[in-house]
Amino acid sequence: MKMVKKASVEPSQTRPMRADGQRKMAALLEAAIQVFARSGVDAPVREIAEAAGVGLGTVYRHFPQRSDLIVAVFQGQVKACADAAAVIARKYEPAEALSRWMQRYVDFLGTKQGLAAALHSGDPAYSALPEYFDQHLRPALNGLLDEAVRAEAIRSGIEAKELLGAVGTLCCQGPHMDIGSARRMVSLLVDGMRYGAIKQEEPA
Amino acid sequence: MKMVKKASVEPSQTRPMRADGQRKMAALLEAAIQVFARSGVDAPVREIAEAAGVGLGTVYRHFPQRSDLIVAVFQGQVKACADAAAVIARKYEPAEALSRWMQRYVDFLGTKQGLAAALHSGDPAYSALPEYFDQHLRPALNGLLDEAVRAEAIRSGIEAKELLGAVGTLCCQGPHMDIGSARRMVSLLVDGMRYGAIKQEEPA
DNA sequence: TTGCAAGCGGAACCATGTTCCATTATTGTT
DNA sequence: AACAATAATGGAACATGGTTCCGCTTGCAA
């Protein structure tokens, strides 16, 4: 059992991807990044295939579901967003940290045309997305939430999953996608949590 | 110039709709109500046509855009929701009235599978919806908002349109559409407005 | 060099929204 | 009552976009 070098994505216990396969996959990822940025995450698959100089079948071979492609493209940024929580928590007091991280998440979603919408579409083609996001972001948010509650800066009893979902929906105001509006509404949401805090602070 | 009886929808300054036309239109509306309730507002047009025992062409003759059909089906309920604002305002203090009306709106949107999503989809087929909703609901909400601000129960500077949009998005959590979650998040939003009020009340 | 499984391309299929037009039905007029 | 004008109908046809399928090609190990 020789361990040949593995491609970034490989089924365990099996041979590594063929060289040309890896090449196409990389081209696909590259193209998807471009196309998603230009036309949003709901760009036609054909468009991505063409941009990558690849057949449709090849797209589906590497990314059986549309959402697999999206996850592949954004996983780095999702992780970065999750990691930002700890950094922010170190710099600010709990409630402020929570607020800032929420805005950080808004900034991420808000600049990916169609991502937020896809996240909540319920379209089976995107089914893997909510799971992926929740799995990675919930722990991060939960940490911030716990600290803020412990500091009595916000009310308790808020579900991270619910909050995450709310931010996601607030970021999908159609195509006009006014990120400023999303930011204001999320800010209102955070203030709502402060309103029920044990220690009632003076609002700015 | 004899005023013949007019169909519910008729271009001004023109002959009334033919008798069979009115019949089909009524059947269509009837069927749409059923189908929307059963399969959501994004049900295939063909399904509605079939349910009404009508050809596809007939659907598009009476409702050139998909959204026209939706508006026709829900206009009564939208108006009722708008009218509820005045009633509620008479019964409760300003902030409470605002809160209750917002929940009223959530209840409306939340029980119409897919309506909230359509409202924010940006899909040109639904383009008339946001306009219609905004036009009818904004004045209602503005009244409540003004009173609450005047009573110094909430902060000022909140845009009714933005708030309406936010509630709409919060109501489209995919198909699972947990109305409880939407209610909690909207409640948080309202509390957020209270947090910035001049007179800071004691939270419950 | 050669055999074969991995990988490829894109035609074909399905679902859905929308348009078009030959056919049918209603209605005011004669 | 018969007719002409035209409103209204139904559904085939077109467009778009996701997904599947399969015969051909190619990298790789023997």
A:30-59 Cβ neighbours of strand C under 7 Å: 53-58
A1-10, A11-20, B108-117, B183-192: least confident range = A1-10
Residues in B closer than 8 angstroms to A191, CB to CB, are 191-193, 195-196
Measure CB to CB from residue B195 to each of A117, A121, A191 and give the nearest one.
A191
**Per-residue pLDDT for A110 more than 60?**
yes
Superfamily of chain region A67-195: Tetracycline Repressor, domain 2 (1.10.357.10)
The pLDDT confidence band at residue A5, using thresholds 50, 70 and 90, is very low
**Per-residue pLDDT for A204 more than 70?**
no
Residues in B closer than 8 angstroms to A165, CB to CB, are 173, 181
Contact B140, B202 (CB under 8 A): no
Q: Which fold has domain B19-64?
A: Arc Repressor Mutant, subunit A (1.10.10)
The percent of residues above 70 in pLDDT, for chain A, comes to 89
**Per-residue pLDDT for A170 more than 70?**
yes
Evaluated on CA atoms B148, B153, B156, B161, the torsion sign reads negative
In this prediction, the residues of chain B whose per-residue pLDDT falls under 70 are: 1-14, 174-176, 201-204
Look at B134 and A14; give whichever has higher pLDDT.
Answer: B134
Nearest to A99 by CA among A189, A169, A201: A189
Cα-trace Rg, chain B = 20
pLDDT of residue B85: 98
Measure CB to CB from residue B122 to each of A175, A190, A192 and give the nearest one.
A175
Cα A61 to Cα B17: distance, rounded to the nearest angstrom: 55
Question: Does residue A18 approach strand C to less than 7 Å at its CB?
Answer: yes
DSSP state, A86? H
Measure CB to CB from residue A192 to each of B162, B169, B195 and give the nearest one.
B195
Q: Please report, for chain A, the start and end positions of each structural domain, with discontinuous segments joined by +.
A: 19-64, 67-195
- The whole-number Å distance from B176's CA to C20's C1' is 39
Cα B193 to Cα B160: distance, rounded to the nearest angstrom: 12
Cα B120 to Cα B23: distance, rounded to the nearest angstrom: 32
Q: In this complex, which protein residues place their C-beta within 7 A of any atom belonging to strand D? A: A 4, 18-20, 42-46, 56-57, 60, 64-66, 124-125; B 15, 17-18, 20-21, 23-25, 53-58, 60-62
Contact A192 B190 (CB under 8 A): yes
**Per-residue pLDDT for A201 more than 80?**
no
Q: Which residue has the tokens 């105001």?
A: A173
pLDDT of residue A3: 30
